[in-house]
Structure 1
Amino acid sequence: MIRVLFVCLGNICRSPMTEAVMRDLVGKEHLSDAIEVDSAATSAWHIGEPPHRGTLDKLREYRISTKGMKGRQLQKIDFEQFDYIVGMDHSNIHNIHTMLGNLDSTKIFRFLDLTSHRKDVPDPYYTENFQETYDLAVEGCQALLVKIKQDMKL
């Protein structure tokens, strides 16, 4: 089982959106038995809360499930349990390394570095542009799925 963890600041906008999009892609490719997806926050602000209303609305628009999704904070054990730890921006990557013990690992990387954008995913909590986040989530998840399939020869 390959395990992927998406990480953002609050785990209510970007990381749950990418988690849901990735789960949807994995399901459509019949890889749900091979790839598990989760998300977490670097902060403790929204632990136990559902995704932001804008995230829920956007995913509902595209008929993507958010069933069972609740905010949680990144923990040290996540480094051992996940094969890919994917931060939404440079600040998240810095916080991930700090929280997990400043580990130097290729399993931790910035989400859009797998695409031609090579930029941070803007936070729709502040920009209110959930469509942009969704579009980047789809593109990034497609690129990550290609990488996983190549890495694991799926």
Structure 2
Amino acid sequence: MIRVLFVCLGNICRSPMAEAIFRDLVQKEGLSHLIEVDSAGTGDWHIDKPPHEGTRKLLTENSISHTGIRARQVESNDLTEFHYVIAMDAKNLQDLQKLGKAGGYLGRLSDFVPDSSWEDVPDPYYTGNFQETYELVADGCRGLLAYIRKKHGISSIQK
């Protein structure tokens, strides 16, 4: 099982959005039995809360389920238990690096969007622009899934 963890600051906007979008892509590709998805935050302010209303609204509008997603704080063992730990911005990445050494890939979601002008996914909690964040996260998730399929030799549909 390939395990993917998305990480942002509070785990209510960007990382749960990425978790839901990536899980939806994985399910549509018939890869749920091979890829597990989760999200977490570097901060503890929102533990056990559902995603932000703006995130839920966009996911619902795009027919993407956010059922069961609850905020949690990232733990040091996440760095070794997940094969891919994907930060939403440079500060999240820096905070993750302070937790310890990763056992697999540790980087930013923007690493999977070639020729992009953005490096960090803007936090809509502060910008209010959930649509921009959704588009960036969706692009990154598609790129990440393509990367994982290529790296692990996974065809689109394997049941």
Question: TM range, normalised to the smaller chain?
Answer: over 0.9
Q: Which amino acid aligns with 1:15?
A: S
1:5 aligns to 2:5 (yes or no): yes
Please give the alpha-carbon distance, in whole angstroms, between the structure 2 residues aligned to 1:70 and 1:137: 18
Please give the alpha-carbon distance, in whole angstroms, between the structure 2 residues aligned to 1:79 and 1:94: 13
Flag as ranges the 4+ runs of structure 1 deviating above 3 A. none
1:109 aligns to 2:84 (yes or no): no
**How far did 1:114 drift?**
1.4
SS in 2 for 1:36: strand
The 8 Å contact of residues 80 and 103 in structure 2, kept in 1 or not, is answered as: no
Q: Which runs of 5+ in 1 are unaligned?
A: none
Pairing 1:1-80 to 2, within 5 Å after superposition? 1-80=1-80
Please give the alpha-carbon distance, in whole angstroms, between the structure 2 residues aligned to 1:77 and 1:13: 23
Please give the alpha-carbon distance, in whole angstroms, between the structure 2 residues aligned to 1:25 and 1:111: 15
Q: Which amino acid aligns with 1:107?
A: Y
Please give the alpha-carbon distance, in whole angstroms, between the structure 2 residues aligned to 1:83 and 1:111: 14
**How far did 1:150 drift?**
1.0
Q: Percent identity?
A: 51
Please give the alpha-carbon distance, in whole angstroms, between the structure 1 residues aligned to 2:28 and 2:125: 29
Q: How many residues align?
A: 152
Please give the alpha-carbon distance, in whole angstroms, between the structure 2 residues aligned to 1:96 and 1:46: 18
**How far did 1:104 drift?**
6.3
- Describe the shift of the 1:32–1:105 C-alpha distance in structure 2 as closer, same or farther (beyond 3 A): closer
Q: Which amino acid aligns with 2:70?
A: K
> CA deviation digits over 1:25-55, x for unaligned, max 9?
0000000000010000000111000000000
Q: Which runs of 5+ in 2 are unaligned?
A: 155-159
TM-score normalised by structure 1 residue count: 0.95
